[in-house]
Structure 1
Amino acid sequence: MSTTLGIIEGFYGPVWSWQERKQLVRTLAPHGYGFYLYAPKADAFLRRRWQEPYPSEMASELSEFGRFCRAQGMRFGVGLSPYEIFNCFDDAARAVLAEKLEMLDSLGIDELAILFDDMHADTPALAETQADIMQWVRERTQAEYLSVCPSYYSDDPVLDRVFGQRPPAYLETLGRRLDHDIQIFWTGEEVCSREISPGHLKRVSEQLGRKPVLWDNYPVNDGDRMSRHLHLRGFTGRPAANGAYLSGHGINPALQSVLTTIPAITLVESYRQGPQYQYAQAFRHAAKEVLGKELADQLHADLLVLQDTGLGRISEEKRQSLMHTYDAYDHPAASEITRWLAGEYQVTDEMVQTQ
């Protein structure tokens, strides 16, 4: 499989433990996942409070996790969101950013991603400014891989509605002004794309002057509405032919770290099998591998309720019955389901607005 697959921990809401992250890596590295980008929205030291240094304990945990990923054959990166820095990239901002880059280098990261997504821009030459910031960062980071998430990372008009109208020729300008070895993230025709086609990726590659890294927002289930559903089914709408137009394919995982490995494994199968791929069959195989036969059969039987009906529309009686069913299994995935049924994974609008 030529396309490098990876995990982009980029969701809003509750954070994983280091143990959960390690287990995810242990499960997916043998399937060929090649990179892990640590960028949870809840890590304020990478986002709203990016100017502040990491507390030493957190820094050492992050560094240790990076070593763990490399030992498993995955490159390790960090996604830094220097909040709205492009609106005022002055000497003070440069000084703080230089300190942050030095600190991230000290962790021994392989990849540095600068994430300009989900922020308000009020600078006229947005693409030019962001390209200048990336060039400045490139001269100061020791990370081998450098990537950027644009402010407008999809064709989706929701971005213009929430963050202001995108500047004309934004992607073309950014692509033209960025050094060719800087990778650019893209989510597809929508923020959470139902389908991503070779034709679409070919067009975006031409606009950017390089193949994008797909930031795939499945099986992520953050946000008020999505967190009421478990995203378990195999990947669909990602044909293997996309690989010709991608420099990488990272998936933004679900809030449930064990359950997310089921769809993650199906993506590998989608690339491997090409036109022979069958998403429901791939789900059955992956679920059996992750959960064992008995729990996999149970999950398959409840798939419609857990993924499609969701918490908002399950009757109290059904919810209690499901709690009882999954309580009987001694498996971390069953525990994720009972915690989800108890409302522990609910992501509120306030979380999304403040993280």
Structure 2
Amino acid sequence: MSHSSGRSGPGWLPPPRAGLAVAPAAVTPVWPTPQSVVLPRPGGFPLPARVALVTGRGADRAAVGLVHAVLRAVGVEVLPEGRHADTVVHLGDDAPQDPTGRVLAELGVRGPEGLPAGGYVLATGTGGGGVRHLVLHGVDPAGAFYAAQSLRQLLGVGPDGRGPAVSDGTAGLPWIEIRDWPDVALRGTIEGFYGAPWSHRDRLDHLDFLGRTKQNAYVYSPKDDPYLRERWRDRYPEDWLGPLRALVERARANHVEFTYALSPGLTVCYSLPADLRALLDKFQVMWDLGVRSFAVPLDDVPIDRFPHEEDAPRFGAGEAALGLAQSHLLNEVKRAFIDTHPGAHPLQMVPTAYASVRDRPYKQALREHLDPGIVVEWTGEGVVAPLVSAEQARAAMATYGHQVLLWDNYPTNDYVTSRLLLGPYTGRDAGAARLLAGITANPMNQEAPSRIALFTSAGFGWNADAYDAEAALDAAVADLGGSAASALRVLVDNSRSCELSPTESPALTALVDAFWAGWDGAVDLGAAARDLDLYFQRMTRVPHGLAREPGLVAFVEQAGPWIGKLAAYGRAGRTAVRTLLAVRAGDRPHAEREARALGRQRRALDAIVQQVAVGVMDPFLDRVAKEAASAR
């Protein structure tokens, strides 16, 4: 594995090996951090105004379309097939008779053979006759798609397809060889939160986000779909099937595994053949829509009793009996459906006791009776686990006796609805990533703001050893914020504390501490007040800054109350600074006017239930009020 140590910022380029030169610093970084990057020669690989594009037979349509869009965004024309060009772009995967591997061999670059699913090679070089080659070769179609995403980033094309429109031959990338693959087989999200659901538009946009961040798993388990839980036996009405089919098709286009999660636990009779039949029929409907991955969540139900007394004579009583009954049902689902449908992915289940590594009779029953081919989902040590270590992952696999997929309840905010959780994914051990069957993060009720944290978790799932939480957060803000990245950074920094990390408002906290040091005479109060006031001004300008970025329309709509509260805190903060400066100057009338204004602002702030800068702004304003009152 070849990656930089001691990196600063979100960049991926490693320090040069002996005799190699680093590519220009202006190169847009690839994210997630690639596993291996080699810079074989100094200088750049310019793209001319026209190139040829050669694709393998049956090349992935999404990857081909993305390469066309990326080249078009940087002003490069793709010549019609058969036209000669001095620069050729090659896109291929593992399809039979794909010629891309021969081009890599000509360049002396090892191909993607042997890489895990989703792996790829991206390389530039010069072949026979002086023809320059840009090669994107995936170990499979998903790998080709991910190679195209890396090309997009290398050429500076944003997630919305906007890029520097260059047609004079100055667009380009370094002479480079990237050999890349994911650490975790399944990486993505589970829409499993309580409260306000996502819209259909949210889900479609989310699947696009997963694809471009090289995530490949989406578990459909929204609580607003009554046909998943309360009415799980009932067939979907026809008007539901169209939107579901659209989600499945969008997932497929983005190389995302759409998992349909049916939750019968509240009312199922485990010994009733008709209930098994209803579950199988529901899965068949989804199979016909194109779904190939299925889950049966059995969480959030009583563990010590059955929904129907008819199950007790067959399975017994207590939590071990529930584990036995669930094993019976799931084994039948695997035997009658998964095993009879070629192409079906392993069945997943969410146990009733889904947290902790502590053994108990229920888990023992799963360990002894559940088919070993079924994957068990686990949330770590607690519903929201502050830490997930390799030792814990190993213990969970032993306790359940199965492969374990981490259902990670971050950044979900259904238990703290007044907050946006925008901090980076942290507290997860790289060793755990190598043991887990997958990682699916449970997002917030607000889809667009969820992407900040999910962008970072994508980086961990792809390359856990190279993962740096702060660098990942920098990359997320730059990628998602676009022209409003600086404004977005202020909101993120003041909305980041959570169960995974207590860090909140790091920049603001330092400025507030400096201000109080100045107030106490330890440093220059005037300079500290100016610095703090400038930051408060930045807070007041966040709404305007975010509103100007076209790519943040959904974000602004969904995060609006928090954005507004941040700006209101900024205005109150400026008033607070003026209040104490007037006190220190001995200008009592001015100080009293500002103190009254601050009181009005605080009453307005108290009426906004959403929270930002938790534990930072309110204590600051409290002390300002106290200091002002004591000076009267």
The answer to which of 13-22 and 3-12 deviates more is 13-22
Equivalent residues in 2 for 1:75-224, closer than 5 Å: 75-85=257-267, 89-121=271-303, 122-123=305-306, 124=317, 125-141=321-337, 142=341, 143-155=344-356, 168-223=360-415
Distance 1:68 1:323 in 2: 32
Distance 2:232 2:217 in 1: 23
Unaligned 5+ runs, structure 2: 1-181, 307-316, 498-503, 506-538, 566-607, 611-632
Unaligned 5+ runs, structure 1: 158-166, 311-318, 347-355
1:162 corresponding residue in structure 2:
none
Find out whether 1:53 has 2:235 as its counterpart.
Answer: yes
What SS class does the counterpart of residue 347 from structure 2 fall into?
strand
User: Residue 204 of structure 2 contacts residue 247 of structure 2 at CA under 8 Å; is this kept in 1?
Assistant: yes
The answer to which of 301-310 and 55-64 deviates more is 301-310
Find out whether 1:2 has 2:192 as its counterpart.
Answer: no
Deviation at 1:82, TM superposition (A): 0.7
Distance 2:236 2:543 in 1: 39
User: Residue 229 of structure 1 contacts residue 307 of structure 1 at CA under 8 Å; is this kept in 2?
Assistant: no
Distance 1:345 1:215, change over 3 A: farther
User: Residue 29 of structure 1 contacts residue 74 of structure 1 at CA under 8 Å; is this kept in 2?
Assistant: yes
Distance 2:357 2:193 in 1: 18
Superposed CA offset, 1:229-274 (max 9, x none): 1111110101221122201111111222122222112123234554
Distance 1:31 1:205 in 2: 28
Find out whether 1:286 has 2:476 as its counterpart.
Answer: yes
What SS class does the counterpart of residue 43 from structure 1 fall into?
coil
Find out whether 1:306 has 2:495 as its counterpart.
Answer: yes
Distance 1:274 1:21, change over 3 A: same
Residue 256 of structure 1: which of 435, 442, 446 is its match?
A: 446
Aligned residues: percent identity?
A: 27
Superposed CA offset, 1:265-316 (max 9, x none): 2123234554553312211111110121x42222222335434489xxxxxx
User: Residue 66 of structure 1 contacts residue 108 of structure 1 at CA under 8 Å; is this kept in 2?
Assistant: yes
| Structure with the larger RCO, 1 or 2 (CA within 8 Å, 6+ apart) | 1
Find out whether 1:29 has 2:211 as its counterpart.
Answer: yes
What SS class does the counterpart of residue 329 from structure 2 fall into?
helix
Q: Which amino acid aligns with 1:301?
A: V
Q: Which amino acid aligns with 2:345?
A: E
Deviation at 1:39, TM superposition (A): 0.4
Distance 2:391 2:280 in 1: 40
User: Residue 240 of structure 1 contacts residue 272 of structure 1 at CA under 8 Å; is this kept in 2?
Assistant: no
Distance 1:69 1:287 in 2: 24
Distance 1:81 1:191 in 2: 18
Q: Which amino acid aligns with 2:556?
A: A
User: Residue 326 of structure 1 contacts residue 334 of structure 1 at CA under 8 Å; is this kept in 2?
Assistant: yes
Structure possessing the higher radius of gyration over alpha carbons = 2
Distance 1:43 1:320 in 2: 39
Distance 1:274 1:90, change over 3 A: closer
Give the helix-richer structure, 1 or 2: 1
TM-score (norm 1): 0.82
TM-score (norm 2): 0.48
What SS class does the counterpart of residue 137 from structure 1 fall into?
helix
What SS class does the counterpart of residue 364 from structure 2 fall into?
helix
Deviation at 1:69, TM superposition (A): 0.7
What SS class does the counterpart of residue 258 from structure 2 fall into?
strand
The answer to which of 335-344 and 29-38 deviates more is 335-344
Q: Which amino acid aligns with 1:155?
A: S
